[in-house]
């Protein structure tokens, strides 16, 4: 089998390279055990160093086949669980090398490590802030040019009467820019599509999503998001910041770039999944913080999505990164706006300040807020259902990159056309105030000194539109404008999410919600006699925005804090929380959150917080994969190579067992070793000529493992001669001698809790005599979920 | 041995009842093994059903001795670890009864449970808010009367010249009120002393602190805090709210009151440590939320102090409780202030709104803030060191209740005298503004239309003083006044903390910090030419307050959020965070935080977030207690009674082992059973007449265990006849069949992580053959800590 590099189609693009890649975790197969050693009671089926093949999916497309032709229908399905995703190793591999290093390290050594962690977090925050700043400035400049050009064109043709030319200009400009963004995404790095939040959620959940934290992804992401926002799509630039922050974190913390082939020889200690995942949490938080000016919200986002075990020092570092990030953004934007040192731009989106008495709320408004939350939940569910169907459609029919680019261009053109039509037919003219807060007021057919109100909503970057919906004086919009705007923007945003462009759904959601929220406020003011006193439309716009966003993404705690921080006013804490909770409860009744839908459609083995409530009747015995391919502590090289090369069972973790010498007893568990470790051992030819002789053994350092991390070579690239196949390998020093184990009778919730709390990758199931009977991995736990008819089991599939 | 009820001296009061109580966990002793069955390799020392005695502390005072006479010197020492504290069982006891119940429950059943959890959290929030409201109103009313009386008296005597009579009146009034508060605390419920935060920290850490969440404690706490605040001590009413919230949570969630002997037959499912601890987290958060109007801060406080495993649903419930709590307080206070429905009083302490341009900060102010953080750290460390010495002194010499009451009265009188003297000799007269924000302006020797500025600081509740330091116009205080005030209040507050009164240290810290912070601001304004533009003293007062509080209590993340929420302005997030971090770093260089000092002085086995960095050379084998008293799965009643009655080894958890019948092999681990379960079994006489016969066995329900929770009777209260002693007990159904285990070679950090992440109470150490070799409990892990000279081991002691 050739050295296949893995590709993952996170966007709606098909996976071209086929099913199983070099590191694909497969189900532990279940060939008839060769050394069938059936002990009296436990049913311990432990194959020693033998190959096993998958019998579960006989009809599976073999690697060669999938390389030749594209599968006819991409089997994305929310009832499947893909086997191609690996877990991260959040549990430290405590082998002898690691313990020796730790024991050698002095207290000062640990202090230095701790300090360098803080330095890395500071760097992460700083770079994330810089990237946010760069995106913001570039978008503002380019969008400014675009809107100026179109505006001048429209003004030129308003009198003359050739507005269709303006429309054409607008549509072509948008399409061209979006095309650029879609091309780099679809052809160069499909994983950079979308907001990246589902991917980061998965990463923080402990799933290794290939290519998600690479430099190339970051570059494409930044370029893509600029193009899609400037291209006038119904998208925001906030979501992608989270992904960008995560990539920055993964890059900085490793002290090298594999893509650029530069190794700075620093932070080598951090080259393992445990540390990297912690830093990625910090990066994601820094991204949220830069996007919304919400450092605490960022920390809570990271925790809500990622944390298994809450660690105080880690949380502080995350908080530090967040703070630095928002501060950096703030500082550089203040320079850009020629007010150096005045720190008033904490995030990419700024809701403006809600201050003064007009925004206070009263007790009797609470039920209104809750009702709005329910509306948000309903609309959010509708949005999600529509987007779900659309995504299914895209997976089936729009999986070629060129089709994806064309669809993106189409959406861009349609967006421009619809916007133009709405503006054209709107006759909502508003007087242009003396201070006129609108950046690009379009006069069109309005009288002099007036501007078209619909254009404020459409002919603007979405961030500005949100702000004007929040803060413009009562009476700036008439209800019809708002209603039409909500309707069109709702469908545009729904169509846009899932395109092969880098873009987020936060701002469009906020915009839709702000529009209908403001509409609610206006209606309330008209139906109540003295309503104008308390029904400030801006306040209702804010509540509507929260409701809509909550209805779509279904976050509560972190979103509350993000919204509170973005408004800069804690008074709204309670109503926003109530609204988000209502939206979540109502929305969850119909369909899951948008991110969860997309995660499920990718068949990712995502672990929730707890095992399904009604799963107490399942035990580890039923859940585990068995029989397990075990290795002897001193194992023949040939056996190891064969085990690793077995493409049908690509296992990633192997329990190591030991036989009491001279005894007839079955072998006992004595450790756990990973595929990646074995690969490094093979590569460095850590063989002993004869069993039990340690003389010729080359001493490997932890450094060798760290250097290979995270892109371990595939087994096919390692040449082992026939002579070497006869040598032995002593795994004692390299295996994790104290893997976590559970007895067979352990209930699923208990197994789940242990697995989730410690972020494990493999959990060995043993019998009374400490013999291996099975192995629990992520997919074994993730496949149970609560469906409509109680506990359901997902099917496992290779894709 | 008589049935000794345990008393714990959390305040500085001595433990009168002696060392070991009925449920005291002792070190698993190490008598020479009777059934010494030394296997070939593991050294498995497992005593079956035999008593073992402690040989570790031969010189220990026996129970009789300690009952007769009070020990001469109370062995409180931060180098000791007390054995009298038990762990909470955060890990579910998954025995057959539990699993059967869970399996019988339908999906709807779990939904109902989830809903009732939300209801309980809502109730917790509501009641906590009500209590906060009650305390606030009563304090305001009583303090109002007191200050009015004293003010009138002072005004009467200012002219005549008998101000010493006013001083006497003030001092006597204060002493009398404080005496009342001190009496109820010292004589009725010593655990209600202080802020309660260290106790709640310990509880959330997983330590069972006796009497801490009882109704009586709550009543005394509320009464005590009212007395101490009205009595004019340098204390706040905010800290105790956290304790109050926790008690409310523990009470409401259990659906009954053991003190009042009322059982409402609801929430029976929640009668175990796992659920209770979760609710107590919510209660503590609700308390913080009510105290500071900081719902997010409350959640973070609970997480920072309590969470092991972050669970999203739990966090949301905590957040819900917090929100309801601040909302309830807000609502009732708005009615009290005759502005019903206007929700503007989110917390007990209201920093007032920091708004407008005057409070924006500039980049070059950041170093100043950091410098102030360092000052706060230094002053905080000084405060803590002084308080530490004072506490040691109190433990040695002031441990009788009557002495404690007298000390409290003395402090009250001295506080009044010092305040009066300061006011008397101050000549800082300020013009009385037209709106005059001061509640009780004292004219004294000032001209007409002026008031004594020192009196605003001293002659006021501390909350109002803080607010006026934050918000009064520049020039309201002169530097000398502030300097003197800082100095005196610092020592007063330091002396006050640790008295036998219910009171918190938050407000005094804020007040000290606000005073010197404002002083800094004023000095800055004078030394810079155009300084008055940016050096708003109120801003510096805020930063100073944060620095001082951070320097004393050393919280960062939650405190940042609390401060931000209390100021109602997120702009200050970054400076507050920087200040708190600096204060923590500087302070930690000298001494620990105040709460940690008090926890250490009580020798509580507190588990930090991670094992000490340099502890990788320790393994489970060195850490564990061994040999372990094991029980057979079918065990003689007499053996069980003897084991439980053995006062020298009061174990709380017993591994259950099983021997393969007819084989010569050593017994294998098959479960774990707790003392409390055995007690219930004995009480219900769940015996089988003959081994292996299950006919006469009475079926026990989970309900029987729940009814006995949490105050299980001592073994001495259970009568077992001589005949019954010969019966057998089958533990199969009741033991936790799948206890977590680790191999002997597991490193301490790994053991620690498992223990901490899952909130365990007992962790069984097994050898290769699954035989019990040891047991790791909280004290085994807590006794290793990083001292000045690397890893240190604390001594275990009975007190």
> Phi and psi dihedrals of A657, rounded to 5?
-120, 160
Q: With pLDDT > 70 as the criterion, what percentage of chain B qualifies?
A: 84
Instruction: Tell whether the model's pLDDT for residue A1 goes beyond 80.
Output: no
Quote the CA–CA distance of A229 and A143 in Å, as a whole number: 8
How would DSSP label each residue in B593-610? -HHHHHHHHTT-----SS
The terminus-to-terminus CA distance of chain B in angstroms comes to 18
- Give every CB contact of residue A640 below 8 A, 6+ residues apart in sequence: A49, A631, A678, A682, A729
- The helix/strand/coil state of B334 is helix
Contact A19, A61 (CB under 8 A): yes
pLDDT digits (tens, 9 = 90+) for B544-567: 999 999 999 988 788 888 888 888
Quote the CA–CA distance of B143 and B668 in Å, as a whole number: 67
pLDDT digits (tens, 9 = 90+) for A466-503: 888 888 777 778 888 889 889 999 999 999 998 999 98
Q: Does B350 touch chain A (CB under 8 A)?
A: no
Query: Containing H/E element for A326?
Result: helix A312-336
Classify A770 in phi/psi space as left (phi over 0), alpha (psi -120 to 50) or beta.
left
Quote the CA–CA distance of B33 and B43 in Å, as a whole number: 12
Nearest to B319 by CA among B565, B130, B122: B122
Q: Which residues of A touch B616 (CB under 8 A)?
A: 99, 102-103
Which of B310, B352, B569 has the most A C-beta neighbours within 10 Å, making it the best mutation to test the interface with A?
A: B310
Q: Which of A467-481, B490-504, B722-736 ranks highest by mean pLDDT?
A: B490-504
Residue A91: pLDDT band (50, 70, 90) is confident
Q: Does B576 touch chain A (CB under 8 A)?
A: no
CA geometry: angle A784, A787, A791, nearest 5 deg = 45
Q: Which residues of A touch B740 (CB under 8 A)?
A: 742, 754
Quote the CA–CA distance of B542 and B526 in Å, as a whole number: 19
Quote the CA–CA distance of A90 and A102 in Å, as a whole number: 17
Query: Containing H/E element for A741?
Result: strand A741-743
Quote the CA–CA distance of A178 and A163 in Å, as a whole number: 23
Which of A77-86, A336-345, A711-720, B47-56 has the weakest average pLDDT? B47-56
Residue B255 structure tokens: 């659906």
Quote the CA–CA distance of B634 and B688 in Å, as a whole number: 9
Q: Which residues of A touch B368 (CB under 8 A)?
A: none
Contact B311 A609 (CB under 8 A): yes
Instruction: Tell whether the model's pLDDT for residue B342 goes beyond 90.
Output: no
Strands A262-263 and A256-257: antiparallel
Distance from CA of A518 to the nearest CA of B (A): 22
The burial class, CB within 10 Å (0-12 / 13-18 / 19+), for A722 is exposed
User: What does chain B come to in residues?
Assistant: 799
Report chain A's C-alpha Rg in angstroms: 29
Query: Containing H/E element for A763?
Result: strand A762-766
- Give me the pLDDT at residue A217, please: 92
Residue A534 structure tokens: 């308390």
Nearest CA in chain B to A92: B750
Peptide bond into B710 cis (omega under 30): yes
Which of B539, B564, B743, B771 has the most A C-beta neighbours within 10 Å, making it the best mutation to test the interface with A?
A: B743
Q: Does A316 touch chain B (CB under 8 A)?
A: yes
The residues of chain B that CATH labels 1.10.3080.10 are: 120-337, 364-400+425-601
Q: Which of A57-71, A122-136, B283-297 ranks highest by mean pLDDT?
A: A122-136
- Give me the pLDDT at residue B17, please: 39
Q: Which of residues 660 through 699 in chain A touch B, CB cutoff 8 A?
A: 668, 670
Residue A400 structure tokens: 């070629």
Interior/surface letters B460-471, b for 16+ CB within 10 angstroms, e for the rest? bbbbbbbbbbbb
> Phi and psi dihedrals of A500, rounded to 5?
-80, 55
Cβ neighbours of B706 (radius 10 Å): 16
State CA A248 to chain mean position distance. 14
Residue B199 structure tokens: 């106790």
pLDDT digits (tens, 9 = 90+) for B622-660: 999 888 889 998 888 889 998 888 877 778 889 999 887
Quote the CA–CA distance of A313 and B337 in Å, as a whole number: 42
- Give me the pLDDT at residue B534, please: 62
Residue with the larger pLDDT of the pair A789 and B504 = B504
What is chain B's percent helix, strand, coil content, to nearest 5?
55, 10, 35
Nearest to A373 by CA among A161, A146, A575: A575
Residue A197 structure tokens: 């939040």
Residue holding tokens 């019990």? B772
Instruction: Tell whether the model's pLDDT for residue A72 goes beyond 80.
Output: no
Q: Does A732 touch chain B (CB under 8 A)?
A: no
Q: Which residues of B touch A564 (CB under 8 A)?
A: 296, 570
**One CATH from 3.40.50.880, 3.40.50.720, 3.10.580.10, 2.30.130.10 for A620-796:** 3.10.580.10
Classify B553 in phi/psi space as left (phi over 0), alpha (psi -120 to 50) or beta.
alpha
- Give me the pLDDT at residue B68, please: 39
Residue A261: pLDDT band (50, 70, 90) is confident
- Give me the pLDDT at residue A77, please: 63
Distance from CA of B362 to the nearest CA of A (A): 5
Quote the CA–CA distance of A386 and A378 in Å, as a whole number: 12
User: What DSSP designation does A614 have?
Assistant: T
Q: Does B308 touch chain A (CB under 8 A)?
A: yes
Beta strands of B575-652 (E only): which ranges? Answer: 628-632, 634-636
Q: Does A310 touch chain B (CB under 8 A)?
A: yes
Per the DSSP assignment, residues forming a β-bridge with B743 are B766
CA geometry: angle A464, A470, A476, nearest 5 deg = 90
Q: Does B320 touch chain A (CB under 8 A)?
A: yes
Q: Which residues of A touch B355 (CB under 8 A)?
A: 355
Quote the CA–CA distance of A197 and A194 in Å, as a whole number: 8
Which class does domain B364-400+425-601 fall in? mainly alpha
Mean pLDDT of chain B: 81
Say which of B355, B363, B745 has its CB closest to residue A355. B355
Which of B126, B302, B577 has the most A C-beta neighbours within 10 Å, making it the best mutation to test the interface with A?
A: B577
Contact B343 A569 (CB under 8 A): no
Per the DSSP assignment, residues forming a β-bridge with B657 are B632, B669
Helix (H), strand (E) counts: chain A: 27, 19
- Give me the pLDDT at residue B43, please: 37
Report chain B's C-alpha Rg in angstroms: 29
Quote the CA–CA distance of B194 and B272 in Å, as a whole number: 28
pLDDT digits (tens, 9 = 90+) for A94-112: 888 888 888 888 888 888 9
Nearest to A513 by CA among A484, A536, A478, A547: A547
Contact A573 B323 (CB under 8 A): yes
- The helix/strand/coil state of A785 is strand
The residues of chain B that CATH labels 3.10.580.10 are: 620-796
Contact A742, A751 (CB under 8 A): yes
CATH number of B120-337: 1.10.3080.10
Residue holding tokens 């805090």? B225
Instruction: Tell whether the model's pLDDT for residue A15 goes beyond 60.
Output: no
- Give every CB contact of residue B38 below 8 A, 6+ residues apart in sequence: B44, B45
- Give me the pLDDT at residue A491, please: 94
Is this prediction's pTM over 0.95? no
Contact B341 A362 (CB under 8 A): yes
Quote the CA–CA distance of B653 and B776 in Å, as a whole number: 11
Contact A557 B315 (CB under 8 A): yes
Contact A574 B327 (CB under 8 A): yes
- Give me the pLDDT at residue B157, please: 82
Quote the CA–CA distance of B519 and B483 in Å, as a whole number: 7
Nearest CA in chain B to A326: B574
Residue A443 structure tokens: 């006069």
- The helix/strand/coil state of A28 is coil
Which of A573, A585, A589, A787 has the most B C-beta neighbours within 10 Å, making it the best mutation to test the interface with B?
A: A573
Residue holding tokens 């073999």? A62
Instruction: Tell whether the model's pLDDT for residue B6 goes beyond 50.
Output: no
pLDDT digits (tens, 9 = 90+) for B139-172: 999 998 998 888 888 888 877 777 888 889 989 9
Quote the CA–CA distance of B650 and B29 in Å, as a whole number: 10
How many Cα atoms occupy the beta-carbon half-sphere of A497 within 13 Å?
A: 31
Contact A103 B617 (CB under 8 A): yes
- Give every CB contact of residue A484 below 8 A, 6+ residues apart in sequence: A422, A426, A454
Nearest to A637 by CA among A735, A722, A737: A722
Q: What is the value of ipTM here, to two decimals?
A: 0.86
Contact A312 B296 (CB under 8 A): no
Nearest CA in chain A to B615: A103
Contact B738 A743 (CB under 8 A): yes
Distance from CA of B30 to the nearest CA of A (A): 26
CA geometry: angle A783, A784, A786, nearest 5 deg = 130
The terminus-to-terminus CA distance of chain A in angstroms comes to 18
Beta strands of B195-279 (E only): which ranges? Answer: 207-208, 256-257, 262-263
Q: Does A39 touch chain B (CB under 8 A)?
A: no
Nearest to A323 by CA among A116, A114, A557, A125: A125
Q: Does B335 touch chain A (CB under 8 A)?
A: no
Nearest to B490 by CA among B518, B477, B465, B509: B509
Q: Does B343 touch chain A (CB under 8 A)?
A: yes
Distance from CA of A790 to the nearest CA of B (A): 7
Q: Which of B259-268, B309-318, B740-749 ranks highest by mean pLDDT?
A: B740-749
- The helix/strand/coil state of A511 is helix
Residue with the larger pLDDT of the pair A18 and B101 = B101
Quote the CA–CA distance of B573 and B326 in Å, as a whole number: 21
pLDDT digits (tens, 9 = 90+) for B431-448: 776 555 556 677 777 777
Residue B3: pLDDT band (50, 70, 90) is very low
């Amino acid at each position: 089998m050739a050295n296949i590099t893995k590709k993952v189609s996170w966007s709606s693009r098909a996976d071209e390279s086929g099913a199983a890649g070099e590191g694909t975790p497969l189900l532990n197969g279940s060939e008839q055990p060769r050394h069938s050693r059936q002990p009296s009671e436990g049913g311990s089926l432990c194959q020693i160093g033998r190959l096993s093949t998958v019998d579960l999916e006989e009809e599976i497309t073999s690697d060669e086949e999938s390389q030749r032709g594209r599968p006819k229908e991409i089997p994305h399905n929310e009832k499947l669980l893909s086997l191609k995703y690996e877990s991260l190793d959040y549990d430290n591999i405590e082998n002898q090398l690691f313990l020796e290093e730790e024991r050698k390290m002095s207290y000062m050594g640990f202090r230095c490590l701790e300090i360098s962690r803080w330095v890395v977090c500071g760097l992460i925050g700083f770079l994330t802030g810089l990237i946010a700043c760069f995106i913001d400035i570039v978008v503002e400049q380019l969008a400014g040019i675009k809107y100026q050009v179109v505006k001048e064109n429209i003004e030129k043709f308003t009198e003359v009467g050739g507005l269709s030319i303006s429309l054409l200009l607008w549509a072509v400009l948008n399409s061209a820019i979006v095309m650029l963004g879609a091309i780099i995404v679809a052809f160069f790095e499909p994983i950079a599509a979308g907001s990246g939040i589902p991917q980061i959620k998965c990463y923080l959940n402990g799933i290794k999503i290939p290519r998600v934290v690479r430099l190339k992804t970051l570059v494409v992401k930044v370029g893509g998001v600029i193009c899609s926002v400037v291209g006038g799509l119904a998208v925001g630039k906030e979501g992608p910041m989270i992904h960008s922050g995560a990539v920055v974190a993964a890059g900085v913390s490793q002290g090298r770039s594999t893509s650029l082939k530069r190794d700075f020889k620093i932070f080598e200690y951090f080259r393992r999944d445990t540390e990297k995942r912690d830093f990625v949490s910090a990066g994601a938080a820094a991204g949220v913080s830069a996007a919304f000016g919400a450092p605490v919200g960022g920390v809570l986002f990271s925790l809500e999505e990622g944390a298994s075990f809450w660690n105080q020092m880690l949380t502080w570092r995350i908080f530090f990164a967040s703070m630095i990030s928002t501060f950096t953004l703030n500082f550089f934007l203040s320079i850009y706006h020629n007010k150096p040192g005045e720190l008033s731009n904490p995030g990419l989106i700024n809701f403006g300040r809600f201050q003064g008495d007009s925004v206070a709320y009263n007790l009797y408004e609470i039920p209104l807020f809750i009702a709005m939350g329910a509306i948000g939940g309903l609309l959010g569910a509708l949005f999600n259902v529509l987007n779900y169907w659309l995504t299914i459609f895209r997976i089936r029919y729009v999986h070629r990159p060129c089709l994806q680019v064309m669809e993106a261009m189409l959406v861009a053109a349609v967006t421009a056309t619809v916007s133009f039509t709405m503006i054209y037919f709107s006759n909502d003219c508003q007087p242009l105030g003396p201070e006129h807060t609108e950046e690009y007021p379009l006069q069109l057919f309005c009288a002099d000194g007036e501007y078209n109100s619909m254009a404020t909503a459409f002919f603007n970057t979405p961030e500005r539109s949100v702000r004007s919906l929040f803060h413009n004086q009562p009476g700036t919009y008439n209800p019809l404008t708002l209603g039409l705007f909500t309707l069109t923007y709702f469908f545009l945003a729904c169509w846009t999410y899932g395109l092969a462009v880098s873009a987020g759904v936060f701002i469009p959601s906020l915009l839709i919600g702000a529009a209908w929220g403001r509409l609610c406020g206006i209606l309330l003011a008209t139906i109540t006699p003295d309503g104008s006193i308390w029904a400030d439309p801006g306040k209702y716009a804010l509540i509507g925005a929260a409701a809509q966003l909550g209805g779509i993404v279904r976050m509560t705690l972190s979103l509350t804090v993000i919204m509170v921080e973005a408004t800069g006013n804690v008074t709204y804490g309670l109503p926003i929380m109530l609204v988000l909770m209502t939206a979540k409860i109502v929305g969850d009744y119909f369909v899951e959150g948008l991110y969860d839908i997309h995660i499920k459609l990718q068949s990712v083995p995502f672990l929730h917080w707890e095992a399904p409530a009604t799963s107490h009747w399942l035990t580890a015995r039923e859940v585990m994969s068995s029989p397990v391919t075990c290795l002897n502590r001193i194992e023949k090289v040939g056996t190891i190579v064969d085990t690793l090369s077995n493409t049908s069972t690509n296992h990633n973790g192997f329990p190591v067992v030991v036989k009491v010498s001279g005894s007839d007893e079955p072998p006992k568990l004595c450790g756990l070793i990973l595929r990646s470790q074995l690969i490094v051992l093979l590569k460095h030819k850590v063989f002993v000529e004869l069993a039990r002789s340690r003389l010729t053994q080359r001493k490997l350092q932890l450094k060798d493992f760290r250097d290979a991390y995270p892109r371990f070579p595939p087994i096919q690239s390692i040449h082992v001669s026939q002579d070497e196949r006869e040598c032995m390998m002593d795994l004692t020093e390299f295996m994790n001698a104290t893997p976590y184990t559970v007895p067979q009778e352990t209930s699923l919730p208990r197994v789940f809790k242990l697995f989730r709390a410690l972020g494990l990758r493999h959990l060995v199931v043993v019998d009374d005599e400490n013999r291996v009977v099975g192995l629990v991995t992520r997919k074994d736990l993730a496949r149970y979920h609560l469906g409509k008819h109680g506990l359901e089991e997902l099917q496992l599939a290779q894709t």
